[in-house]
Amino acid sequence: MTPQITAFCHIKKNQVFLNGKSIFSAGSEVDMREFVKSAFRNTGTKYPKFFKMDDYSKLGFLAAEVLMKEVDESTIEDKSTGIVLSNNHSTLTTDQLFQDSIQSDEAFFPSPSVFVYTLPNIMAGEIAIRHHITGENAFFVSSAFDPDWHTLYINQLFESKKVSACLSGWVEMDDQSLDAFVYYVEEANDQRDESMQHTVEKLNNLYKINDK
Amino acid sequence: MEALIEKLKEQIIKQLNLEDITPADINEEDSLFGEGLGLDSIDALELIVLLEKEYGIRIENPKDGQKIFFSIKTMAEFIQEHQKK
């Protein structure tokens, strides 16, 4: 049976949506990095390490934090839960930040805390640590959110019994904008909403549900 | 020494992105790692960079780090003793 999407979170244009409903917003004049920090404080989670993360990890971590409030985390230890994420820019802006710190011979001060975030799968690692997720994890780079690839890859993980639940999604950011769409997929269950099957069409719909 | 301690507190908060912590929250004698301020190994590397960048001090023997970075006060004492800038 096709696995089912049991929760989804979308963060874009200074708004946080959970299962299609706006739960936090800030005016368009608010800097997007400040918005991410405000949205995180709004979750009520005390996690000082969040503020040390790079911009990509902050965004992905925030989206996962909002999403996982919908998930019974006590089940995670017993399950094989995975993380599959993707984006377009990998960690480009963080890479540039690090490059700037070593560009000049006179001011050659490479920052260790910036360097550790110059890989996109660090974001998956931060989420895994926070939510005790120890299953399969992967990070892919593609030009745009690709529901075909996500459904193909993740449904295959379920079919091959590699996972019984998966946090997945798209976490993209550049200097101008951010877009994080993360969702939770679980094994099909009669008691769940049948219309929420992890299919290309459903993912496309959910990704665009807050476009208006 | 007081001024240096206050400056160090501000620099550490900024360098280590210790959001929601003010200089007044940091006791100069509290340990920086473990129970005190809760810094980690990456923060330790950042402190080494901070010493070199802001005070021109390079730590030659990594084993000295534990003593130097025990607290804000031990850092300030070390800086006062070795400052070149």
Domains delineated in chain B: 2-82 (1.10.1200.10)
Residues A206, A9: Cα–Cα separation, whole Å: 9
Structure tokens that stand for A182 in this block? 């993360």
Cβ contact A73:A51 at 8 Å = no
- Sort out which chain A residues have CB atoms less than 8 A from B38's CB and list them: 48
Q: Write down the mean pLDDT value for chain A.
A: 94
Q: What is the pLDDT of residues B16-68, one digit of tens each?
A: 999 888 999 999 999 999 877 889 999 999 999 999 999 999 998 888 899 99
Separation in Å, CA of A203 to nearest CA in chain B: 36
pLDDT at A119: 96
* A208: Cβ contacts below 8 Å, ≥ 6 apart: none
Residue B45 to residue A51, Cβ atoms within 8 A? no
ipTM reported for the complex surpasses 0.95 = no
| Partner residue opposite A112 with nearest CB, options B38, B45, B53 | B45
Q: Which domains does chain A have, with CATH numbers?
A: 4-208 (3.40.47.10)
Residue A48 to residue B43, Cβ atoms within 8 A? no
Residue B20 to residue A51, Cβ atoms within 8 A? yes
Residue B38 to residue A116, Cβ atoms within 8 A? no
Chain-centre distance of CA A143, in angstroms? 16
Which runs of E-coded beta strand occur in A58-209? 81-87, 137-141, 165-173, 178-186
In chain A, which residues touch B (CB < 8 A)?
Answer: 37, 48, 51-52, 109-113, 116
